[in-house]
């Protein structure tokens, strides 16, 4: 129905603007219901729900599981604080569900976000100012309103006081302020990266009033006030933490939330040993389990509940980038100064034997940081790649202008003589000398180092690797410490080599800085575990972070991949392009998965009839 603009209507409109605090749009501003890296949104402003959920999913039941990924200060094995965003302590699992963000993603799109706390956003023509308009109904779990002042406080706190994972990401945000109660203005530096606005939109929003008089850095077992779908209900420090669905959750009917947050109770269990955790799953103490151990997946599921159908085991495939297992050399240690030494150590790892004998041939070899994506470097660089690489000719390894480095395929014997011979030749070329049973570096120090880990999990993988190195005179040892000590040492880069399982991204951007940039190499808690400080890599990271099109991003990442692989900064291990799930048959799920994920358990729900049938 058309509405004729009259003086009365104009006054009513002006009154509405004043009531919301949102100034009339300027000619150079664009208003949007969502944001993306390249400006393409798949969902219209009036979408009803995400395409991969069941909008009529029932609410109730209990999901019990283990933490499978960490962020901020979280620890897989224990917790001593409920503030996962601070620099100190070991954060509890699941706390992210207690906080809402300005906007949130769609599992069918690689980089788009839509309004959650924010109903819409106005963007200046130069993309340096973003005005987020908050929903009037947005509230914290105590009933108090979420205001723009809370947004400004949260972003400033995360940039200035939070764990480096967040602080590094927010470095391009210049200011965050409240223009009114419901309009938060965020400004960015002129040299902002492409994804800076998406990073801000995805940050948690805290209550400024709740944090007044409290120390953000201090460990706390008092749950910070949030506005998310769940609240902490009870916990036993280091053993479990349980969340209850907030029945008064302000955003339960928002299009982004329809068909999700379906469980009445979500409980995370902590176990220091994987086998103990698996026994808990077999007994029903855990009812949803993602399996990461190939030996258990191959041989561990012959127990009564599987045989009689009470436990379902399945393999799901996802369009998302793969998780990648690798060991990282700490270049802050002089022993790893020479890339030839690093390559020689890599050659001693027999993936083919390890995969067959230890991992039941369940994995594939990692070759690229951008494994299984269009950004993986293959073959010689094309014309667009050469444009970015040519300025580094003579300054970076010549290898980047040819085929990218691939770890060799062994004969599968566990001790491939040809590869060990090649490794020894590299060590001699690096100036190492054999002195009896010991290989010495050019400075006369023994070539010795230590694998650091928090469990015995990788002993079957590193033991034969270390034996091969011993044949060359390398003294490689293994040290296992408790999880808290491990985290503290890795955060402080107090290790020689350590393993990390990283998740890739379909649209990498500014987050690459915390992995590869010189600026993060000395930042305690960053994920630049290798301590890489390479101007060529820095340049490619910035090209990727500021790419204006997906083609530009792909080209920059391929160049970054070539440089990373040419530097021999890691020992690429393995990946799995499938997700192994086992669960008690008490769940139902939508007809399809997200295009970039498996949707489990986020879109699943408790099926009371199934649960009753199996006695749960």
Instruction: Output DSSP code: residue 602.
Output: T
Decide if 55 is inside a domain.
no
pLDDT band at 318 (very low <50, low <70, confident <90, very high): confident
Same-domain check for residues 362 and 506: yes
- Order of strands, sheet of 311-317, starting from the edge strand that comes earlier in the sequence: 288-291, 578-584, 311-317
The torsion region of residue 61 among left (phi > 0), alpha (psi -120 to 50) and beta comes to: left
User: What pLDDT score was predicted for residue 245?
Assistant: 98
Average pLDDT on 350-362 reads 97
* d(C-alpha 526, C-alpha 492), whole Å: 9
Please say if the pLDDT value at position 585 is more than 60.
yes
User: What pLDDT score was predicted for residue 273?
Assistant: 86
Please say if the pLDDT value at position 5 is more than 60.
no
Please say if the pLDDT value at position 11 is more than 70.
no
Residue identified by tokens 């503030």 is 83
User: What pLDDT score was predicted for residue 502?
Assistant: 86
User: What pLDDT score was predicted for residue 18?
Assistant: 27
Decide if 373 is inside a domain.
yes
Alpha-helix residue ranges (DSSP H) falling in 183-303: 196-201, 208-211, 274-283, 294-299
pLDDT band at 26 (very low <50, low <70, confident <90, very high): low
pLDDT band at 254 (very low <50, low <70, confident <90, very high): very high
Decide if 6 is inside a domain.
no
User: What pLDDT score was predicted for residue 7?
Assistant: 26
Given 209, 233, 263, the domain boundary residue is 209
CA distance to 8, 9, 10, 22, 24, per residue, from 3 (Å): 12, 9, 11, 22, 19
Please say if the pLDDT value at position 225 is more than 60.
yes
Q: Measure CA 146 to chain center.
A: 27
Residue that wins the pLDDT comparison between 346 and 21: 346
Decide if 36 is inside a domain.
no
pLDDT tens digits along 389-435: 999 999 999 999 999 999 999 999 999 999 999 999 999 999 999 99
User: What pLDDT score was predicted for residue 20?
Assistant: 35
pLDDT tens digits along 264-280: 999 999 998 888 999 99
How crowded is residue 191: how many other Cβ atoms within 10 Å of its Cβ? 10
pLDDT tens digits along 445-458: 999 999 999 989 99
Q: What is the pTM of this model?
A: 0.88
Decide if 29 is inside a domain.
no
> In this prediction, what percent of the chain has a pLDDT beyond 70?
96
Decide if 401 is inside a domain.
yes
Please say if the pLDDT value at position 178 is more than 50.
yes
User: What pLDDT score was predicted for residue 42?
Assistant: 96
Domain count, the chain: 2
- On whether the CB atoms of residues 525 and 167 are closer than 8 A, the answer is no
Buried b (16+ CB within 10 A) or exposed e, 458-468: beebbebbbeb
- On whether the CB atoms of residues 412 and 420 are closer than 8 A, the answer is no
User: What pLDDT score was predicted for residue 319?
Assistant: 86
pLDDT band at 24 (very low <50, low <70, confident <90, very high): low
- What is the H or E stretch that residue 476 is in? strand 475-480
Average pLDDT, the chain: 93
User: What pLDDT score was predicted for residue 25?
Assistant: 55
User: What pLDDT score was predicted for residue 323?
Assistant: 86
Which CATH number characterizes residue 181's domain? Answer: 3.40.190.10
Residues paired with residue 104 on neighbouring β-strands, in sequence order: 114
Which CATH number characterizes residue 347's domain? Answer: 3.10.105.10
Given 209, 242, 259, the domain boundary residue is 209
Sign of the dihedral through C-alpha 76, 77, 82, 88:
negative
Q: Which of 38-42, 105-109, 152-156 has the lowest mean pLDDT?
A: 38-42
How crowded is residue 337: how many other Cβ atoms within 10 Å of its Cβ? 16
Domain region containing 430 = 323-575
| Tally: H helices and E strands in the chain | 19, 25
pLDDT tens digits along 471-492: 999 999 999 999 889 999 999 9
Average pLDDT on 87-105 reads 96
Average pLDDT on 153-160 reads 98
Decide if 225 is inside a domain.
no
Decide if 308 is inside a domain.
no
Q: Measure CA 362 to chain center.
A: 23
At residue 78, the 3 state secondary structure works out as coil
User: What pLDDT score was predicted for residue 236?
Assistant: 97
- Give 239's contacts (C-beta < 8 A, 6+ positions apart): 269, 270
């Amino acid at each position: 129905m058309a509405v004729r603009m009259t003086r009365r209507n104009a006054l009513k409109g002006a009154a509405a603007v004043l009531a919301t605090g949102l100034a009339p749009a300027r000619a150079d501003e664009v208003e949007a219901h969502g944001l993306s890296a390249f400006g393409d949104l798949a969902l219209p402003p009036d979408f009803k729900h995400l395409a991969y959920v069941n909008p009529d999913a029932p609410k109730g039941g209990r999901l019990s599981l283990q933490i499978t990924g960490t962020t901020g200060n979280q620890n897989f094995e224990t917790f001593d604080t409920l503030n996962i965003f601070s620099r100190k302590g070991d954060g509890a699992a699941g706390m992210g569900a207690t906080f809402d963000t300005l906007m949130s993603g769609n599992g069918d799109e690689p980089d788009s976000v839509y309004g959650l706390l924010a109903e819409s956003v106005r963007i200046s023509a130069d993309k340096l100012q973003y005005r987020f308009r908050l929903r009037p109904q947005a509230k914290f779990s105590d009933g108090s309103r979420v205001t723009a002042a809370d947004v400004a406080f949260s972003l400033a706190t995360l940039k200035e006081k939070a764990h480096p994972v967040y602080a590094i990401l927010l470095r391009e945000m210049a200011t965050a302020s409240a223009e009114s109660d419901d309009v938060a203005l965020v400004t960015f530096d002129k040299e902002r990266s492409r994804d800076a606005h998406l990073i801000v939109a995805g940050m948690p929003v805290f209550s400024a009033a709740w944090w007044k008089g409290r120390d953000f850095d201090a460990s706390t077992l008092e749950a910070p006030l949030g506005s998310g779908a769940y609240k902490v209900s009870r916990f036993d420090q280091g053993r479990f933490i349980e969340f209850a669905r907030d029945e008064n959750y302000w955003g339960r009917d928002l299009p982004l939330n329809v068909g999700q947050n379906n469980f009445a109770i979500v409980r995370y269990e902590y176990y220091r040993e994987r086998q103990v955790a698996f026994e808990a799953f077999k007994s029903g103490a855990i009812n949803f389990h993602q399996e990461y151990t190939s030996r258990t997946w191959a041989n561990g599921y012959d127990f009564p509940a599987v045989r009689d159908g009470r436990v379902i085991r399945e393999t799901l495939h996802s369009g998302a980038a793969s998780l990648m297992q690798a060991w990282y050399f700490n270049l802050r240690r002089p022993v790893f100064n020479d890339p030839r030494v690093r390559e020689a150590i890599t050659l001693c790892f027999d993936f083919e034997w390890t995969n067959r004998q230890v991992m039941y041939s369940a994995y594939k070899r990692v070759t690229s940081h951008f494994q299984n994506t269009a950004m993986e470097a293959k073959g010689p660089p094309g014309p667009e790649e050469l444009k970015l690489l040519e300025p580094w000719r003579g300054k970076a390894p010549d290898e980047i202008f040819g085929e990218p480095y691939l770890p060799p395929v062994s004969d599968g014997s566990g001790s491939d003589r040809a590869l060990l011979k090649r490794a020894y030749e590299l060590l001699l070329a690096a100036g190492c000398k054999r002195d009896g049973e010991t290989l010495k570096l050019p400075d006369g120090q023994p070539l010795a180092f230590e694998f650091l880990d928090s469990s015995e999990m990788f002993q079957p993988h590193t033991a034969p690797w270390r034996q091969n190195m011993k044949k060359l005179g390398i003294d490689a040892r293994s040290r296992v410490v408790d999880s808290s000590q491990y985290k503290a040492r890795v955060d402080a880069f107090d290790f020689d080599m350590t393993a990390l399982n990283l998740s890739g991204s379909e649209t990498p951007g500014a987050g690459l800085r915390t992995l590869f940039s010189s600026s993060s190499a000395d930042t305690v808690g960053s994920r630049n575990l290798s301590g890489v400080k390479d101007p060529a890599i820095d340049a490619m990271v910035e090209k990727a972070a500021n790419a204006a099109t997906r083609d530009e991003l792909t080209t920059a990442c391929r160049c970054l991949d070539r440089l990373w692989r040419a530097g021999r900064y890691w020992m690429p291990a393995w990946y799995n392009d499938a997700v192994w799930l086992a669960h008690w048959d008490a769940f139902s799920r939508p007809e399809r998965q997200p295009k970039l994920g498996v949707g489990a358990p986020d879109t699943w729900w408790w099926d009371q009839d199934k649960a009753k049938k199996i006695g749960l």
